[in-house]
Amino acid sequence: MRPPILRRLFRRVASTAVLGLLAATLSTTAAVQPAAAAAGGLQQVTGFGSNPGNLQMYAYTPAGLPANAPLVVALHGCTQTASAYYTNSGWPKFADKWGFSVVFPQTTSANNSLSCFGWFDPAEDTRGKGEAASVVQMVEYAKQAYGSDGRRVYVTGLSAGGGMTADLLAAYPDVFAGGSIASGLPAQCATSQAAASGCQTGPQKLSPAQWGDKVRAAHPGYTGPWPRVAIWQGTSDYTVYPANATALRDQWTDVWGIGQTPSSTDTLPGNTTRSVYDDASGNPAVETYSVSGMGHGLPVSPGTGDQQCGTTAAYFLNTICSTYYTGVFWGLDGGTPGGGDGQLPAPSGVRGTGTTDTTASLTWNAVEGAASYAVHRNGTQIASPTATTYTDTGLTAGTAYRYTVTAVDAAGTAGTASAQVTATTTGGSAPAKCSTATNYAHVTAGRAHMSGGYVYANGSDQNMGLYNVFVTHTLKESPAGYFVIADSGCTAG
């Protein structure tokens, strides 16, 4: 059961008032536990540096790891520990499979009453200071002790750890080649206690350039390459609102000098929509992952499959293995950053070939190396044909359905999903319906869907603006399941 949300401030033990990010009532299962090293390889490391941020360092290094392997830094959320993140996030599985070390920094109640990283405190999250400096000292230790490749260092975090991840990417783009922010905040969204709460529920309405300036100001004069950034967000997160994912997208696409219109979008397991923003060379620079209906937490998918990972617990939510997709995006699987190598391409030429009152037929071009294909209807996989055609049956007359197709190799690994196509069944002479509501309510009612922080009308895919309770539109439904914006006037019938 999801714990209820609180809205309150928490005090830092060292007499400095700060905001605890993960503002949720703690069940007994979510209570902070001692950070004893977990069985199976997590080890505490001492003496890694001067440690100005008073952090603890834990690390996992697979046996027999060669020199110059990548390094991942994984930051827990409020009320969590390094041990919990090690146990539940899925990072050890892929460290073993792909060959890299993982450092798990830990903050404690000695720093913050809820063990939150100080993403909102300039004394903790800026270059050369506090917790941020301690994390970089851990990286330097790992490079010396484990032989980690300094060109392939990545950082990821959840909630307060996600906010600190964004700040680290901004302050140390010379250290981190990539980042992944789960239910987190834009870099330097808050620089005071008063501003922190506002960031959680709705960051400032800044332009992409203004958000990007916050990154550029974190390390003035930096002219090197920027980190590649993945952004994970649940659409039903009421602790860190989805508007933060939009601000993060705006911030990092602006830093890269690319637009805010995705180069491609596709549908992944767990009702997840991925939007990809390519750099000037056509490689993914920023990716957003919007998990429909998910609350506040890190997406995991328990199981033994190649694309599954983690275990469910407080703030580890059973939807999709974000760790797998993040690792592929960074190239930890041996592919190029963005997952270009070792992954089947998206089927081309996906199109509808005909509909009846109850069926919709599709076809697409064959993908070399594909053993089968996964057909998704409205984000859910419905079939695994081996041929390049499929007929969906049992549908409702006069209704629009959205389809994507993914190629699957002989090992069962799915590639990139195709572009989305819409097929509308025939029949269905019911009169048009008009509905006026907020964007949030339209999505909840199934009249629209969210992608990358924006809302799109089902069927027509018209852009309705930001996913929130402040933007209101009238939608006209005709035929059933096909919606168009009708703000200027909507006549039912």
- Mean pLDDT value of segment 320-349: 79
- Mean pLDDT value of segment 164-190: 97
Tell me the residue length of the chain. Answer: 493
- Mean pLDDT value of segment 203-222: 93
Q: What is the pTM of this model?
A: 0.66
The per-residue pLDDT for 15 is: 30
Window from 2-6, 95-99, 358-362, 431-435 with minimum mean pLDDT: 2-6
| pLDDT above 80: residue 38 | no
The confidence band for 477, taking pLDDT boundaries of 50, 70 and 90, is confident
Percent of the chain residues topping a pLDDT of 90: 61
- Mean pLDDT value of segment 440-450: 87
Contact at 8 Å (CB) between 443 and 450?
Answer: yes
DSSP H helices, 231-390, are: 243-256, 322-330
The per-residue pLDDT for 281 is: 76
Q: Cα angle at 34 between 101 and 121, to 5 degrees?
A: 75
CA atoms within 13 A on the CB side of 408: 19
Q: Which of 83, 77, 29 is nearest to 56 (CA)?
A: 83
Window from 167-171, 240-244, 343-347, 398-402 with minimum mean pLDDT: 343-347
More confident residue, 408 or 132: 132
Place of tokens 């002479």: 429
| pLDDT above 80: residue 377 | yes
SS3 assignment, position 136 = helix
Contact at 8 Å (CB) between 450 and 467?
Answer: yes
DSSP H helices, 206-242, are: 208-218
| pLDDT above 50: residue 27 | no
DSSP H helices, 331-410, are: none
| pLDDT above 50: residue 25 | no
Window from 8-22, 171-185, 380-394 with minimum mean pLDDT: 8-22
| pLDDT above 90: residue 10 | no
Q: Which residues on adjacent β-strands are paired with residue 103?
A: 59, 73
The per-residue pLDDT for 402 is: 82
Window from 77-86, 129-138, 477-486 with minimum mean pLDDT: 477-486
The Cα 239–Cα 222 span in angstroms is 33
| pLDDT above 70: residue 310 | yes
| pLDDT above 80: residue 20 | no
More confident residue, 470 or 311: 311
- Mean pLDDT value of segment 375-390: 88
Tokens of 386: 């081996």
| pLDDT above 50: residue 37 | no
The Cα 310–Cα 1 span in angstroms is 19
| Active-site hit among 148, 159, 180, 478 | 159
**pLDDT tens column, 272-290:** 999 999 987 788 999 999 9
Between the alpha carbon of residue 235 and those of residues 12, 71, 273, 432, 493, the distances in Å are: 30, 30, 11, 28, 33
The per-residue pLDDT for 492 is: 61
The per-residue pLDDT for 67 is: 87
- Mean pLDDT value of segment 131-139: 98
For this structure, is 159 an active site residue? yes
The per-residue pLDDT for 335 is: 67
- DSSP for 280-296 reads TTSSEEEEEEEETT--S
**pLDDT tens column, 451-468:** 777 888 888 888 898 888
| pLDDT above 70: residue 4 | no
What mean pLDDT, rounded, does the chain reach?
Answer: 86
The confidence band for 430, taking pLDDT boundaries of 50, 70 and 90, is low
More confident residue, 237 or 336: 237
Q: What are phi and psi of 350, to 5 degrees?
A: -70, 130
Torsion sign, CA atoms 230, 235, 241, 244 = positive
Q: Cα angle at 72 between 67 and 75, to 5 degrees?
A: 150
Q: For 78-225, list the strands marked E by DSSP.
A: 101-106, 153-158, 178-182
Contact at 8 Å (CB) between 474 and 259?
Answer: no
- Mean pLDDT value of segment 136-155: 96
SS3 assignment, position 337 = coil
The per-residue pLDDT for 279 is: 85
